[in-house]
Amino acid sequence: MENADIAKIFSDIADILEIREENPFRIRAYRNGALTLENLSERLAKIVERDPKQLRELPGIGEDLAAKIVEAVTTGKISFYEKLLTQIPRTLLDLMRIQGIGPRKARLFYKKLKVESIEDLEEAAKAGKLQNLPGMGKKSERKILQAIADFRGRDSKRFSLFRVLPHVEALVDYLKNGFKGIEVTPSGSVRRRKETIGDIDILVAGGNASKIMGHFVQYREVKNVLAKGETKSSIVLNNGLQVDVRVIGKGSHGSALHYFTGSKEHNVAIRDRAKRMGLKISEYGVFREKTGKRVGGKTEAEVFKAVGLSWIPPEMRENRGEIELAEKGELPKLIELSDMQGDLHMHTQASDGSHSIEEMALAAKKAGRKYVAITDHSKAVTVAHGLDEKQMLQHMKEIDKVNEKIDGIEVLKGVEVDILKEGLLDLEDAVLEKMDVVVGSIHSHFGMEEKAMTKRILQAIETGFVDIVGHPTGRLLGERSAYAVDMEKLMDAARSNHVALELNAYPNRLDLSDIYCKMARDKGVWLVISTDSHSTAQLENMIYGIYTARRGWLEKEHVLNTRPCAEFKKILHR
Ligand SMILES: [Zn+2]
Ligand SMILES: [Zn+2]
């Protein structure tokens, strides 16, 4: 099991214990444990392999949780969790995937109305049975119905890239270690770095196919084997992810990789193009249609070259115009992680982060950044202990101190200021004026109508204080849809007011999406990519922003924080 899976189980356990009204300390222990694992950059399996005792050095991991982690990485399950699952209806946990429903509400509905699933809940809400429960009303009942509809509208079976990639890496290692001289390459949406993944596709080139198949289905994390064939097998991992592995001959590696990387739309367009040129492209190679003569397929570059194109980066293969650019030799030089000099959104212990200013700055330096902006929350976000004017000024003094103390990274004074309901900012002008970087974000009233929401953000932009609009659509992948906003208008206003839009690299946000990144690129709107880190480990999430940026065709020049600090500041303070 990978870190994120164990974290998820710990948080499920906390939910179940809370539904059963068990000891609050125990519940909190599991929640804290889950949080620690989510923020851990090293693989738990590695730590256990080295010395399981080191687990106890992690914050919030005591003897009990450490033992469960060891059990999870060595056996692939946690028996305590399995046992708990037999004591409540398993579908009850699904309720908490509905926006606004936590363990307390789930317990209330379960106890009072025998609601055991999302279907039960919908039925109860439609029958008007929820509104009379304590703490509920007509409005909250309506909200729940809306949230259920939202939930159904999302593809809830998909996994975020963040949860999938560690498994892909572990699987590739496992397959490689078993055999010499084979090439193991992830393909499909994983290779295209899509924000969510349906299943994992892995290609193996070379080697003894039946031995590789035998090795694959014995992978430690296998929950069940769906199919085991001569050259293709499918398994389901303990966390529900499906993995397909195909073995192909080395001579077809390129054509197979292209074929299985997709996307479908891209492949169809390439095949049509080949046809017009008298060629046929399949996973086995490129062939002359008339004679059947094979003209390529060993490498992907060969496949593209056969149809008169330069090699297209996988992230761009969505048939959104990349083929036309490749034909003209005008593909963009996509942004890379090493281009990122600054990180302009992060939190410290002063609001809802876990580390100090100094710890964040030094960790960012280690991650390769040359400058950061510390952007704690403003006072409206009470759950995140947002700072008021006086506290903010004090905090800025602390930032000055850190700047004097440490070398090799510049720390900018910033804030993530709330954009209030009417478009006003949550701090006085006199304080905002003193900031190097002001990120303006929406954290409340997500349900406003598009017109009002657009007006709200535009008003914030027009105050002249906002440098960057943070997570501009507010979506949380698999949890909360984007709020309604007129993106054309927002982008036009950002451009004319010299305000940048953020690509928030937090793995369950990736906000802006790839499509909006491309739109910003086309419109000439400034972008920044920031991690919104709440701990030092999360500073490494910059790579997820880069994946999305590449899918949105962004180049270094489109992203302001690829520039040196002095230049960045000059642009900001027009
Ligand atoms: Zn935020
Ligand atoms: Zn934030």
- d(CA 525, ligand 1 centre) in Å: 21
Q: Which of 534, 536, 511 is nearest to 384 (CA)?
A: 534
pLDDT value at position 153? 67
Using a CB cutoff of 5 Å, list residues around ligand 2, an ion.
Answer: 416, 532
CATH number at residue 163: 3.30.460.10
Domain of residue 542, CATH code = 3.20.20.140
Residues 428 and 517 in one domain: yes
- Cα of 311 from ligand 2 centre, angstroms: 37
Query: 158 alpha carbon to ligand 1 midpoint, in Å?
Result: 24
CA distance 547 to 81: 34
Q: Kindly state whether residues 13 and 111 are assigned to the same domain.
A: yes
**pLDDT tens sequence across 182-195:** 999 999 999 999 99
**Whether 84 and 166 share a structural domain:** no
What is the whole-number distance in angstroms between the Cα of residue 525 and the centre of ligand 2? Answer: 21
How many A from CA of 114 to the centre of ligand 1?
36
Q: Which ligand is nearest to the CA of 347?
A: 2
Closest CA to 517 of 536, 496, 533, 503: 503
- Single residue among 248, 266, 285 that ends a domain in this structure: 248
Flag whether pLDDT at 574 surpasses 60: no
Cα of 345 to ligand 2 centre, how many Å?
A: 6
Asked which of 232, 248, 264 is the last residue of a domain, the reply is 248
For all residues of the chain together, what is the average pLDDT?
A: 93
CATH number for the domain that contains residue 297? 3.30.210.10
Q: Are 304 and 366 part of one and the same domain?
A: no
Report pLDDT digits (tens) over 15-25: 999 999 999 99
Distance 377 CA to ligand 2 centre (A): 7
- Distance (Å) from CA 557 to ligand 2 centroid: 24
Residues 498 and 374 in one domain: yes
> What's the gap in Å between 228 CA and the centre of ligand 1?
46
172 C-alpha to center of ligand 2: Å? 34
DSSP string covering 458-514: HHHHHTS--SEESSTT--BTTTBPPPP--HHHHHHHHHHTT-EEEEE--TTT-BS-H
163 Cα to the center of ligand 1, angstroms: 21
Say yes or no: 80 and 120 in one domain: yes
Ligand nearest the Cα atom of residue 533: 2
Q: What is the pLDDT of residue 461?
A: 96
Q: Write down the pTM of the prediction.
A: 0.83
On whether both 392 and 455 belong to a single domain, the answer is yes
Distance (Å, rounded) from C-alpha 342 to C-alpha 565? 7
Q: What is the pLDDT of residues 55-78, one digit of tens each?
A: 999 988 999 999 999 999 999 889
Low-confidence winner among 34-48, 115-129, 296-310 (lowest mean pLDDT): 34-48
Which ligand places an atom closest to the C-alpha of 441? 1
Both 405 and 436 in one domain: the answer is yes
- Of 110, 132, 153, the last residue of a domain is 153
How many CA within 13 A on the CB side of residue 421? 4
Question: Does the pLDDT of residue 43 top 80, yes or no?
Answer: yes
> Which numbered ligand comes closest to the C-alpha of 346?
2
| Model confidence at 154: pLDDT above 70 | no
Is the domain of 242 the same as that of 274? no
Ligand nearest to the CA of 532: 2
- Distance from residue 443's CA to the centre of ligand 1 (Å): 6
Query: Which residue segment(s) compose the domain that 441 sits in?
Result: 337-572
Same domain, 222 and 238: yes
Ligand 1: distance of its center to the CA of 565 in Å? 23
> In 3-state terms, what secondary structure has residue 222?
strand
pLDDT at 156: 61
Percentage of the chain lying above the pLDDT 90 cut: 83
- Strands 242-248 and 232-237 come out as antiparallel
Q: What is the CATH number of the domain that holds 13?
A: 1.10.150.110
Inter-residue contact 415 to 393 (CB < 8 Å): no
Number of domains in the chain: 4
Q: Are residues 47 and 96 in the same domain?
A: yes
Ligand nearest to the CA of 348: 2
How far, in Å, from the CA of 347 to the mean position of ligand 2? 6
Gap from CA of 441 to ligand 2 centroid (Å): 8
Clarify whether residues 292 and 439 are in a common domain. Answer: no
268-286 residue pLDDT tens? 999 999 999 999 999 999 9
